[in-house]
Amino acid sequence: MNTDLFGLQVNVWADAALRLQLIVVFMTVVVMGLIWAERRILGRFQQRIGPQKTGPFGLLQSLADAVKLVGKEDLRPKNADPWTFELAPFLVFIPIFMGFVIVPFLVGWNIKVLELGLLYFVAISSVNIVGWVMAGWGSDNRYAMIGGLRAAAQSISYELPLVLSLLSVAMVAGTLNLDEIVRQQGSVPYIVWQPMAFAIFFIAALAELNRAPFDIPVGESEVVGGPFVEYSGIRWSMFMLAEYAGLLIMAVVGASVFLGGYAWPLGEELGLGWQVVLVGAKASLIIFAVFWIRASLPRLRIDQLMGYSWKILLPLVLVQILVNGLVLVYGWSEAILGVVGLAGVVALVSITGRAANRPRQIPARAAALKGEAA
C-alpha cells in the first residue's frame, strides 16, 4: 500500500516513519530555539543580556546545554521506585510529541488530518500528567511527592475550562477537524466571535503547561522543582524538552483555533513558506505573552488556583457555551456572540481583580488549627 509524500509514492509504513521523524527533528530544533528565546527575552525584561557567548547571539546555548546534560551522570536515588522513576520522563515526553500529529502548520500539510483532531489533542495532552505523578511518587522525595500531587490536582481542574473553551469554538465551527476550523477563518478569525473563550483558553493553557503564574507544581521557592527534583542529566532534559514542546503545541493550536492559523488574513492561496511564517508569527505572539507573564507575575497559591478554575473560569465558559447553543438553535447573528464574548472578557477581568482585592481575613480553618495547636 502506497501513499503520497512530497508527490512521491511511498510505502505507508515508510511514510509514517518519515513523518514521525520529521516531527521529532522539527520539534527538537524549535524547542531549542524557544529555550534560547525565553532566556534572551527574560534577560531583556530583567535588564541583563542573557546567553551571548555560545555562537552568534548565544544561539547555540541550548545545544551546549543539551551536550552538557547528555554527558551528566544519570542518578537514581537509592530508595526510588526504579520502574516508576525511569518511565516517568517518557510518559511526559511522548504524549506531547504525539499531539503534533494533528497540528496544521500549512494547508493540507498536517502529519495526519483527523476528523476528531481537537478531541485527540485534548485527550493526548492530558496523558502526560500521569508522568508527572509517577515522577513525583517514584522519586522517594517529599518535595517531589507534593509537587506531583499538586500537578495532578491542577491538571484536573484546568482540563475542564481548557476543553470547554475549545468546545465553544468547535460548536460554532460545527467540526472538530482542526484543518477545517482553520479554513473557516479565512475572513474573520474566531477570536472576534469568541474573545472570552480565547482568554480562558490562554489562562487554562498556562495552567496545563505549569507555566507562571501557575507553576505551583515546580515552584522553585517552595518545592524546589517539584517532581523533577531528583532527576538529572538526560532524564531531566526530557522534562525540559516536553515543557517547551507543550508550550509550542498549545501556542500553535491556540493560533489555529482562535487566530486563524495560516488562513487569516491572506487566505489559502499563499505559498507554503508564507503560511509557515504566518502560523509561526501568531504562535510567537502567544509564546511571547507567556514569557512576559513569567517575567512579571508571582505564583498563585494552591487554593487560589483551584478557586479560580472552579469558581470563575468554569461558570464563565459554561455561560459562553449556553449562549453559543442559543445562537445556533435560534439562528441569531454571530455579532451577538462577539458582544457576549467581550462582555465576558470584561467580567473575567473585573471578577479576577475583585477576587484579588478581597478584604483581609484569617481563614476559619487556619484559626481552628491555631486553636488546636494552642
Partner 1 sequence: MVTERAREFDTQDLLINVGPQHPSTHGVFRMVLEIDGELVKDVIPYIGYLHRGAEKLCETMDYRQGIGFMDRTEYLAAFNAELSYVMAVEALAGLEVPERAQWIRMILCELNRISSHFMFMGAFGVDTGVMGTPFIYGWREREGIIDLFEEISGDRMMYAYFRPGGLAWDVTTNFKARVREVLKSITQGIKDFDGLFTENEIFVARTKGVGYISAEDAIDYGMSGPSLRASGVPMDVRQDEPYLKYAEIDFKVITGEHGDVFDRYYCRLQELRESVKIIEQCLAKMPDTGPIMPEKMPRMLRTPPGEVYIRTEAPRGEYGVYLVSNGGNRPYRLKVRSACLSNLQALKQMSVGQYVADAILVLGSIDIVLSEVDR
Quote the least distance from Cβ 125 to partner 1, whole Å.
Answer: 24
30 three-class SS: helix
Piece of 235-243, 246-254, 335-343, 358-366 that binds partner 1 (CB under 8 A): 358-366
Residue number with CB closer to partner 1 (8 or 362): 362
Q: Can residue 79 be called a binding residue for partner 1 (CB under 8 A)?
A: no
Q: Can residue 346 be called a binding residue for partner 1 (CB under 8 A)?
A: no
Pull the grid cell for residue 297.
507575575
Binding mask 206-245 for partner 1 (x = CB under 8 A): ------xx-xx--xxxxxx---------------------
Peptide bond into 298 cis (omega under 30): no
How far, in Å, CA of 166 to CA of 154, rounded? 18
Select the residue interacting with partner 1 from 284, 288, 304, 321 (CB under 8 A): 304
Quote the least distance from Cβ 45 to partner 1, whole Å.
Answer: 6
Contact 290, 247 (CB under 8 A): yes
Q: Can residue 373 be called a binding residue for partner 1 (CB under 8 A)?
A: yes
Q: Can residue 332 be called a binding residue for partner 1 (CB under 8 A)?
A: no
> What residues form DSSP beta bridges with 4?
9
Q: Can residue 300 be called a binding residue for partner 1 (CB under 8 A)?
A: yes
Give the count of beta carbons closer than 10 Å to the beta carbon of residue 129: 23
Residue number with CB closer to partner 1 (149 or 251): 149
The torsion region of residue 361 among left (phi > 0), alpha (psi -120 to 50) and beta comes to beta
How far, in Å, CA of 76 to CA of 85, rounded? 8
Pull the grid cell for residue 316.
464563565
Pull the grid cell for residue 236.
531531566
Q: Can residue 11 be called a binding residue for partner 1 (CB under 8 A)?
A: no
How far, in Å, CA of 118 to CA of 167, rounded? 9
Residues forming contacts to partner 1 in the complex (CB under 8 A) are 42, 45-48, 142-143, 146, 212-213, 215-216, 219-224, 294-304, 352-353, 355-358, 360-363, 365-370, 373
